[in-house]
Structure 1
Amino acid sequence: MSYFIGIDAGTSNVKAVLFDYSGNEIHVESLENDPIYIGDTDVEQNMNILWEKVALCLRMLLENGPAKADDIKAIGVTGQGEGCWLIDEAGEPVQDALLWCDGRASDEVAKVTKVNPELGELIYQTTGTPPLTGTQLMLLKWMKENRKAVLDKAQHVFFCKDWVRYKLTGKINGDYTDTGTSLIDARAEKVADEMLTKLGLADYISYIPEQVTSDTIVGTVDVEVARSLGLNPDTPVIAGAIDVIAAAVGIGTVEDKDICVILGTTCANEIFKRKADCNFGEPGTRYEKHAVGDLYVNLLPTMNGTPNIDWALENISQVKDFSEIDHLISQVPVGSGGVIYHPYISAAGERAPFYHPFAKANFFGVNMGTTRAHLLRAVYEGITMSIKDCLQDANKNSKIFIAGGGAKSTVWVQMISDITAMEVVVSIGNEFGAKGAAMMAGVATGVYADYADAAKKTCKFAKTYQPNPRHVDFYQELYELYRDIRMASEPLWTKRAEILKKYK
């Protein structure tokens, strides 16, 4: 029997997953990742440790799963997007990677949005993505201004999955879904040389690898690596894609006007459109290339999704079992007694559907009658209000395809349907990023005719949820209050940051 391997190098975990041609998860090996949190804003990762963990997952997959080396048809790769992963001429990291959730480039963002807004608008109009702290563009600018000697030692700039693929194959490439976050001219679909030059980064354009489509076979597994992992050295490896795009493919959202929400470390809210229908640089949008044909995605990924729940379980809840928590919050009336939670818990503030580097989480409306259960439900509702905030551009007659760890909560998924007033379809499976990478490998090797064929043969759905009419109107009014509060908070977040900086 033949299989695909999907590798997913995420922020919290790295995984190697074995899939059959029907998209079933046959075996999973996973290890916790080790982001390095420095102060209030900086987040880094040791690149060699990440690769060692990916390699160990692959080795365990071959040792513990049913597949032998000869059974592996191809390997697909995905991983956390954005950030800055630099290697030198010898292929060694010049420093720890700066991650997508790193907030150190806030001054660089301010320079091109407030001091020189014409340059900020050029970035937005060119790439389809506004200047944001965690993008590779802004982190390269920060490196030039603050660590030029280190930056000058580098020869290539990668994204996470590019580093993993390089270690597997020795081949240097980029793909349009990852590089398209901030370095590609979206209309021309090539590296944005003019924009990079105007930003003072002309000397580093050569660092950007050759760009290929996500399903391009870029090489085979390196002989020595294959020997150490138990793989065949002639196993094809594709370019792969950024995690949010790979997961969208894994869910089956491969058609125009599809919508998906991935409930993970970030709540990735994605609205798919033909390139001809995209208005690059339109306020409130963030367009990036899909792996499929001429489709783009209006990608609105919040800085944090489920970490808000992790924090609440650690600091508020007296129960830790998710089935018990579902039961607990289901007993709390809709609206949590008027308590509203804003889920901006990331060190780097928020990026979708608005940008503010100093945004912070808060509870509004707490009173003497507020219980732990009210606060817990408010956290779930607050994350869902943020999802609704991101989907204002969506076709309300479309379905939301939903996946991720949070999709296991029936209470939360029904809440999403009620708050968005949309039908929600839950996909069967767990490892959708790895699955999407495996499906791309299947398209690349001709196992599937195209992405529509791959989705038809591999994507299955567990349940459909319809909005409860009794809750829709109430939630709509609460959502309007939610937005009013977050907009009124913006100058207060900045004032808070200035006070903390003054007395640091």
Structure 2
Amino acid sequence: MIVGVDIGTSVTKAQLISRDGRTTPAHEARSTVYTLPGHRVEQDLDDVVGTVETVVRAALADAAQLADEPVEALALTGQGDGLWLRDASGAPVGRALSWMDGRAADRLDRWTADGTLRALHRRTGVGLFPGSAAPLLAHLAEHEPERLEAAEVAGYCVDAVVQRLTGAVTVDVSDASQPFLDVATRTYDETALELCGLSAHRRLLPDPAPSGTLHRLLPDAARRLGLPAGLPVSAGPFDIPACAFGSGVAEPGEGNLIIGTTLAAQVLDTEPRPALAEDPAGMVLATPYEGRFLRVMPAMIGTAGLDWLLKLLDVKIEALDALLVQSPPGAAGVTALPFLSTSGERAPFVDPRARGRFDGLSPLAGRADLVRALCEAVAYSARHCMETLGVTSTVTACGGGARSGEWARIFAGVLGGDLEVCDDAVGIRGAAHVAWRSLGTPVDPGAWRARLRTVTAERGLIDHYAEGYAAYRQALDTAREGWSTR
């Protein structure tokens, strides 16, 4: 079996998974997210490593549930983007800058105005947002150059944890894809660095690890985790591609929708071509599998906005399905734009000023209508992302939002086709999938796909939501004109 760990933004999870797909319950530990003035969002690496140690030890206590199979590897996945600076020993150089950090929004404005964003997108297929590594590096180079001078590595969450556990200075190719990698050659594009004015800091970027690379647990780290020293450690891919492979995506054209804290739509391709977006948005990721690439639209919206609304309305998440049933399709005329992140939006368009709103309100509108309107709006955004990506085949769905039966029905109706939903911790499944391949004993992705359940798209909802989607796109276009002059 494999110990799988998913290092989320605020929650780290771990569970055991066997080769036949059986899993033990997931154990969780919360890490601290510091939200500070100036749109700064930071995390402490020591705190995050501590959560990994806690959940791994808890997961290992469940080994008897899988007939005491031997542990073959530790497989890590986790949040992407942001900027995790370390020194040569792996100690943090200041707190990590989260992917939710907005301090570099002004840098993004300048790069938008002078054409840097479009030029970078043409070279690498990556669209930037304030929490991307490039604008964060540029911001520090301008405002805190001493931090970059003190650092030896500029990386991401997963490789920061890997360095602490194994001593390896490395980065997974999926994380490295953002934003300086030529994903076809898996080498850094020096022109991309020049476009961002960051050539002088190339030394901070570790070269991507070759596919199949395994690291080894250091004795001290192994003791803290409760694992044997020298155990193989698989690092990555980060959470979005891990969810694709954990859901069973295996053939070009197949899509995956993650309905989590944020929303991510992705499609597997044999070519490293960017999505045909009107804005330089989204990303193209190299994967652990040669000749396979993921085109991704990682939106900032998702269940976080729904959590905000439910809290505002004093409604528990357990009541979501009941509320959705109380309001008809179309939410009795109430509509929404779901852009409730303080960082704006990053896919399928980029605008740090994007903000949410409700329309069609009257004294007749109730809590159920507000909730359904927001859930429908998130589904419309998912369709916008999927259309931009050009998904042509089966779509799998995962994440907390997909576990709601009524919300999954909305997504199926808006997308116009059946959804194959996976209720497991698919990020961990994807990381374990990659780990077994690296060990030389790959599992059959088709066998794992059989664990999905189908949410049928209903003809009446498909027709209704086709009209709703057209109205959503028109409202979005109008709103974007207003944001541009704010």
What is the distance in 1 between the residues matched to 2:396 and 2:155?
30
Tell me by how many angstroms 1:282 deviates: 5.7
CA contact (8 A) 1:418 1:471 kept: yes
Residue type at the aligned position of 1:357: P
Tell me by how many angstroms 1:206 deviates: 1.0
CA contact (8 A) 1:214 1:440 kept: no
Residue 469 (structure 2) pairs with residue 479 (structure 1): yes
Q: How does 1:258-297 map to 2 (within 5 A)?
A: 258-275=254-271, 278-279=273-274, 283=278, 286-297=283-294
Cα distance 1:257–1:238, how it changes in 2: closer, same or farther (>3 A)?
A: same
Tell me by how many angstroms 1:64 deviates: 4.8
Cα distance 1:379–1:474, how it changes in 2: closer, same or farther (>3 A)?
A: same
Aligned to 1:26: 24
- The count of residues paired between Structure 1 and Structure 2 equals 483
What is the distance in 1 between the residues matched to 2:400 and 2:415?
19
Provide the TM-score with structure 1 as the length reference.
0.91
What is the distance in 2 between the residues matched to 1:418 and 1:164?
40
Stretches of structure 2 that go unaligned for 5 or more consecutive residues are none
Give deviations 1:117-153, integer Å, cap 9, x for gaps: 1x32221112211232111111111111111111111
CA contact (8 A) 2:295 2:389 kept: no
Aligned to 2:2: 4
Residue type at the aligned position of 1:109: L
Cα distance 1:94–1:394, how it changes in 2: closer, same or farther (>3 A)?
A: closer
CA contact (8 A) 2:254 2:392 kept: no
Cα distance 1:327–1:279, how it changes in 2: closer, same or farther (>3 A)?
A: closer
CA contact (8 A) 2:324 2:407 kept: no
Tell me by how many angstroms 1:171 deviates: 0.6
Aligned to 1:499: none
Tell me by how many angstroms 1:220 deviates: 0.8
What is the distance in 2 between the residues matched to 1:215 and 1:478?
45
1:237 is paired with a residue whose SS is strand
Residue type at the aligned position of 1:493: W
CA contact (8 A) 1:240 1:437 kept: yes
Aligned pair partner of 2:353 in 335, 355, 358: 358
CA contact (8 A) 2:287 2:293 kept: yes
Aligned to 2:234: 238
Q: How does 1:306-385 map to 2 (within 5 A)?
A: 306-316=303-313, 318-322=314-318, 324-385=319-380
Tell me by how many angstroms 1:105 deviates: 1.1
Residue type at the aligned position of 2:324: I
What is the distance in 2 between the residues matched to 1:456 and 1:292?
16
Aligned pair partner of 1:51 in 49, 52, 57: 49
Cα distance 1:136–1:395, how it changes in 2: closer, same or farther (>3 A)?
A: closer
What is the distance in 1 between the residues matched to 2:477 and 2:206?
40
What is the distance in 2 between the residues matched to 1:314 and 1:40?
25
Give deviations 1:345-401, integer Å, cap 9, x for gaps: 111000011100011111111112111110011111111111011111355652210
Aligned to 2:125: 128
Aligned pair partner of 2:148 in 148, 151, 162: 151
What is the distance in 2 between the residues matched to 1:187 and 1:226?
36
What is the distance in 1 between the residues matched to 2:234 and 2:67?
20
Stretches of structure 1 that go unaligned for 5 or more consecutive residues are 497-504
Residue type at the aligned position of 2:438: A
Tell me by how many angstroms 1:333 deviates: 1.1
Aligned to 1:437: 431
1:212 is paired with a residue whose SS is coil
What is the distance in 2 between the residues matched to 1:97 and 1:156?
12
Q: How does 1:450-465 map to 2 (within 5 A)?
A: 453-465=443-455
Provide the TM-score with structure 2 as the length reference.
0.94
CA contact (8 A) 2:24 2:62 kept: no
Tell me by how many angstroms 1:473 deviates: 2.5
CA contact (8 A) 1:126 1:186 kept: no
What is the distance in 2 between the residues matched to 1:197 and 1:397?
36
- Shifted more, 472-481 versus 387-396: the winner is 387-396
Residue type at the aligned position of 2:160: W
Aligned to 1:301: 298
Percent of residue pairs identical: 29
What is the distance in 2 between the residues matched to 1:491 and 1:34?
37
Aligned to 1:207: 204
Residue type at the aligned position of 1:221: L
Aligned to 2:188: 191
Residue 92 (structure 2) pairs with residue 96 (structure 1): no
CA contact (8 A) 2:324 2:372 kept: yes
Tell me by how many angstroms 1:454 deviates: 3.0
CA contact (8 A) 1:177 1:214 kept: no
Aligned to 1:469: 459
Cα distance 1:397–1:139, how it changes in 2: closer, same or farther (>3 A)?
A: closer
Aligned pair partner of 1:402 in 375, 397, 401: 397
Residue type at the aligned position of 2:426: F
Residue 441 (structure 2) pairs with residue 488 (structure 1): no
Aligned to 1:500: none
CA contact (8 A) 1:80 1:160 kept: yes
CA contact (8 A) 2:236 2:431 kept: yes
CA contact (8 A) 1:407 1:426 kept: yes
Cα distance 1:396–1:127, how it changes in 2: closer, same or farther (>3 A)?
A: closer
Residue 171 (structure 2) pairs with residue 174 (structure 1): yes
Cα distance 1:49–1:10, how it changes in 2: closer, same or farther (>3 A)?
A: same
What is the distance in 1 between the residues matched to 2:150 and 2:418?
51
Cα distance 1:70–1:131, how it changes in 2: closer, same or farther (>3 A)?
A: same
Give deviations 1:215-261, integer Å, cap 9, x for gaps: 421x2100111122221112101232111001111111122101010
What is the distance in 1 between the residues matched to 2:129 and 2:142?
16
What is the distance in 2 between the residues matched to 1:97 and 1:172?
17
Tell me by how many angstroms 1:263 deviates: 0.9
What is the distance in 2 between the residues matched to 1:13 and 1:256?
32
Aligned to 2:80: 81
Residue type at the aligned position of 2:192: M
CA contact (8 A) 2:255 2:391 kept: no
What is the distance in 1 between the residues matched to 2:211 and 2:42?
26
What's the RMSD between the two structures over aligned residues? 2.0
What is the distance in 2 between the residues matched to 1:40 and 1:234?
43
Tell me by how many angstroms 1:344 deviates: 0.8
CA contact (8 A) 1:27 1:65 kept: no
Cα distance 1:59–1:422, how it changes in 2: closer, same or farther (>3 A)?
A: same
